[in-house]
Amino acid sequence: MYDVIVIGLGGMGSAAVSHLAARGSRVLGLDRFGPAHHNGSSHGGSRIIRQSYFEDPAYVPLLLRSYELFDRLAADSGREVLTVTGGVMIGRPDSLTVKGSQLSAETWDLPHEMLDALEIRRRFPTMTPVEDEIALYETKAGFVRPEATVTAHLELAGKAGAHLRYHEPVLDWTSDGNGVRVRTGAGEYRAEKLVICPGAWAPELLADLGIPFVIERQVQYWFAPTGGTGPFRPEVHPIYIWEAADGVQAYGFPASDGPEDGAKVAFFRGGQTCTPDTIDRTVHPHEVEAMRAQMLPRIPSLPAQFLRAATCMYTNTADEHFVIATHPAHERVTVACGFSGHGFKFVPVVGEILADLALTGATAHPIDLFRPERLSEVTP
Ligand SMILES: Cc1cc2nc3c(=O)[nH]c(=O)nc-3n(C[C@H](O)[C@H](O)[C@H](O)COP(=O)(O)OP(=O)(O)OC[C@H]3O[C@@H](n4cnc5c(N)ncnc54)[C@H](O)[C@@H]3O)c2cc1C
């Protein structure tokens, strides 16, 4: 008998087991794959983290806490999980990327600068914005390391006594007045509370939420720039999100893993709908060409030589906001899903929130935006 079982040990679940074990709970964690695997949503070496959040100012307090917890995770684990490089959010003045970022920065009084096209070119010589593009620049933006973050959380959880079982898919779960039961191919486990962090498997494990999740295939591309990665080193190159006039957003990173690995770039949204079973893991030449065509006018030296690509999945909700809550129909069950392609930067604070909800039924963090009821097609 455990205090809490956590299903899914990817980004969110690894943080949950770590926070729960640190608070003295007897925890069991279960995953269908091994630790820090590449089959879900938490792989590819880097994820953007930033504070002037164009998606909604309501995320900002969570981001500030996330930065604190990433620093603590680095100290506790001895792993490098967060690198601050600065970040530019570029687009037309009325683009979501620029306007939304500005709204968050102004709402929360976050340090930032507005740069015109000339100033962007002067400070960041790899970038060639057109005359009517501007950018919000913030020094606090950077990237976090998905695999290292998951590994660090799992290691700390294990050290604090959590039982972690891999390659053990959960078949189903039930919850009633006496507790929760979780059935896997290997057996059945019981606990007081259940936390479910299923990533792209939400439609299977959380079907009874009645939320129409859309799983989206996404591709991360690595290119070797013309003339090498010198100008793309993290010491001199910021992360960026660049919204084109047609609303298409692409984003990228400095060369975070040395000269051989080039620099990573990707589209935000616009991928094909899939499931974890049907996703096409092959990246096709026409996709590489579309990425190259997007970046050539903007960062001309970047897409010189294609190195490699990797697919990944988003789990989208209709409004692209998360689902983090006590299950509306099961008070012993806490859910975290629907991260809609922007969840990784919140991993540590989500772990803290899940531990709060599982152990006390409430959290001091602002999570009203993430109520599942707003999305349900059926009343649970
Ligand atoms: C290409 C790409 C780029 C991204 N870029 C950014 C970014 O720059 N910044 C940012 O903040 N976010 C970004 N994101 C989003 C972020 O990575 C995700 O929101 C986050 O990783 C989701 O974590 P998760 O725990 O929900 O899912 P996962 O990490 O996939 O974890 C879910 C886990 O559940 C397990 N599981 C599922 N079903 C079962 C079962 N039946 N039994 C046992 N285990 C099960 C899976 O094996 C998996 O380990 C990006 C995502 C992608 C794909």
pLDDT digits (tens, 9 = 90+) for 157-208: 999 999 999 999 999 999 999 999 999 999 999 999 999 999 999 999 999 9
The pLDDT of residue 82 is above 50: yes
Confidence (pLDDT) at 380? 45
d(CA 22, CA 16): 10
What residues form DSSP beta bridges with 245? none
Give nearest CA residue, ligand 1 atom 34.
Answer: 8
β 187-196/333-337 pair status: parallel
Q: What angle separates helix 11-22 from helix 347-360, to the nearest 10 degrees?
A: 50
How many whole angstroms from 191 Cα to the centroid of ligand 1? 24
Is the beta carbon of 162 within 6 A of some atom in ligand 1?
Answer: no
Cα separation, 244 vs 160, whole angstroms: 47
118 vs 49: CA distance, rounded Å: 25
| C-alpha 167 to ligand 1 mean position (Å) | 17
The per-residue pLDDT for range 7-53, each reduced to its tens digit, is 999 999 999 999 999 999 999 999 999 999 999 999 999 999 999 99
- pLDDT for 378 equals 55
Average pLDDT over residues 80-90: 98
What CA–CA distance (Å, rounded) separates 17 from 23?
Answer: 10
Judged against a pLDDT cut of 60, whether residue 379 lies above it is answered with no
Q: Could you give the CA distance from residue 270 to residue 218 in angstroms, rounded to a whole number?
A: 8
Query: Residue 243 pLDDT > 60, yes or no?
Result: yes
Cβ atoms of 372 and 335 within 8 Å: the answer is yes
Residue pLDDT, tens place only, 204-242 = 999 999 999 999 999 999 999 999 999 999 999 999 999
